Amino acid sequence: MIDFEASQESLPRFSVHQLNESIGVLLSRGFAPKFILKATVSKSQVRKGHLWLTLTDSKASVDAVAWSSTLKSLKFLPKQDDGVVIVGKLNFWQSQARLSVQVFDIRPSISTVLKKFELVKSKLFNEGLIDESLRRTLPKYPDSIGILTSVPSSAFADMQRTAQERWPLTKIYVIPIPVQGNNEKELQLILSKLKINKLNLSAIVIARGGGSREDLMLFDSEIIAREIASFPIPVITGIGHEDDLTISDLVSDHRAATPTAAIVDLLPSRTIETVNFLQIKKMHKNSFKLFFQNKRTNLIVKKTFFESHSPYVLIKNKRTKIKYIYQLLQALSPKRLLRRGFSWVTDVKGNLIYSIKNMKEKDQFLVKLSDGKILAEVKSFDYDNI
């Protein structure tokens, strides 16, 4: 046992106030001014404008507070059972010897982000809002598009430059939106107003540059996902990096790997389109050339046909044929033979006499010569032995 009387001489003496003050000095000197704390929220409550938390890691717990001045700038308000990463410092109230963590910033842990992602994904999938068959085809040559992103930002600058390089004919409307934090109501209002489509947009692009997966939690919002799923025109998302996947990506009509890739996927390339145009122009030129060549050949064939079948040619051919027949008849005419010294014999009625067998003595007959006829009478017969 400790000798109380002896201890009074050797041990330091404190009042309660002095003890708490010494502890406070010790903590302020011996502990880091700021630190990062990973924990799970077991209790979350806003009182008098301040956020009061109880943090645990299943083995121990500690209280934390975000003062109202800090609470206004926080991009994430945790709920019970949310995993969080906190930037804070120790607060020690000397009057009560009570220790707590003063919160400067608070972010969801990756486990919280993935948990929310899976919950919302499962709900929307069961409702049929996450379905590849619902994705609409992007317009080939959009007249105008809306870019919803943080302005100014490097992501927007890259998108604007890419759009100008690829297809400057498309009119671009820039709609500034919050891209992280507890701003789902504000983003929902912007999307709701755009649904009226007074700008006659062909499509919209929702974009956010790179960051941690926790920074993209706004786009895992069920409210935002429902707005995108019910949008009247195609929605393209380009959120974060290629490996990042949000609920908004799942319900959009097209998910691009990055904001710049979203513009590349949506707008045609004027270089490629120029090459295609020249090829089509050449193809049409060759097609027209071949068409007119075929028509000309066809006309020449028809002209030749009509020329060969014209009345003049037909009459000429007939005349030639008649002339040939006439010449043939002339060559075979008996008169031609008569002029060569031949004659033909007929009876007085004009019937040809081919043989003397049909004749008898004293029969009269006619002998036709080239220049006249002779009436003769049969006096005798002399049979030819040939």
Domains 4-108 and 113-268 share a fold: no
Summarize pLDDT for 37-74 with one digit per residue, the tens: 999 998 999 999 999 999 998 789 899 999 999 998 88
Mean pLDDT along residues 152-158: 93
- Span 113-268: which CATH code? 3.40.50.2300
- pTM for this predicted structure: 0.65
Q: Nearest Cα to 113, choosing from 187, 210, 252, 221? A: 221
Instruction: Decide if pLDDT at 265 tops 70.
Output: yes
- Binned at pLDDT 50, 70 and 90, residue 278 comes out as very high
- Span 4-108: which CATH code? 2.40.50.140
Lowest mean pLDDT among 123-137, 224-238, 347-361: 347-361
Instruction: Decide if pLDDT at 151 tops 70.
Output: yes
Spell out the long-range contacts of 95-98 with Cβ–Cβ below 8 A and sequence spacing 24 or more. Answer: 95/20, 97/19, 97/20, 97/23, 98/63
Mean pLDDT along residues 231-240: 96
- Binned at pLDDT 50, 70 and 90, residue 9 comes out as low
Q: Domain locations in the chain?
A: 4-108, 113-268, 343-377
Burial class for 289, CB neighbours closer than 10 Å (0-12, 13-18, 19+): exposed
Lowest mean pLDDT among 93-107, 124-138, 144-158: 93-107
